[in-house]
Amino acid sequence: MPAHNVVKQAAQDGSRIRGVHMTFAAPSVIELLARDVEFIYIDGEHGCFDAHDIEAACIAAELHGITVIARVPDAAGATITRFLDRGMCGVVVPHIETVEQAREVIEATYFAPLGQRSFGGSRPSFLAIADRPAHLRACNAATSLCLMIESIAGIEAAGKLAAVEGVDYLSFGMMDLAQALGHPGDPGHAEVRAAVETASTAIRAAGKRVREDFMQYAWINEVILAGSRHLLAA
């Protein structure tokens, strides 16, 4: 059966969890970090990963009881299926602006009755499934879904997006959002911060959380630089 998804649980109850945002394929790094984190975030949109890398990351995380989620490169059903079939516990879908888009993502992410996710066997472990209906229900219960807001339209629709059944939490693509608001390269601009706060209030009013409400995470690039500067300081 699917492993317990600490991201989905934390999105529901607000418990704080720690993780690392991976931008390149390194299963050994996931193994190394296993004692210190509860989740690994694979950047499948801007990071350097192919299908074999995605599966290797899932295997490494599973062996150490870590939840692994991925930002997918697009909202296409085939893309979401490919990531979930390799073993991802959840997906983060970028550039969502409408309820219709959200519902299409839900169709691809969950099996019936919530969605219409395609079942094709995926990892070899599917051969050991004794009760497939129960397995599909367990998959739904253990799969998390985050929608990313990265545009003015997304900001305006935030509350409606959060209210859609099947959405666990939402996050913001700050660089793209800053660009959309006319402040390229400046996600800390007052107008950008105000837009995020307005959208976050609407999301919470709809009964959902934003990523920062429960996630503490660092980019692997930052971890490496901070470690090297600390260890190699004169």
Judge whether 183 counts as a catalytic residue: no
Strand ranges for the chain from DSSP E: 17-22, 39-43, 67-71, 90-93, 144-149, 169-172, 209-210, 215-219
Q: How far apart are CA 70 and CA 88, in angstroms?
A: 7
**Helix, strand, coil percent content, the chain, rounded in steps of 5:** 50, 15, 35
Comparing C-alpha atoms, which of 43, 117, 52, 44 is closest to residue 81? 117
Q: Which of 46, 95, 135, 189 is catalytic?
A: 46
8 Å CB contact between 114 and 106: yes
Residues acting as catalytic residues: 46
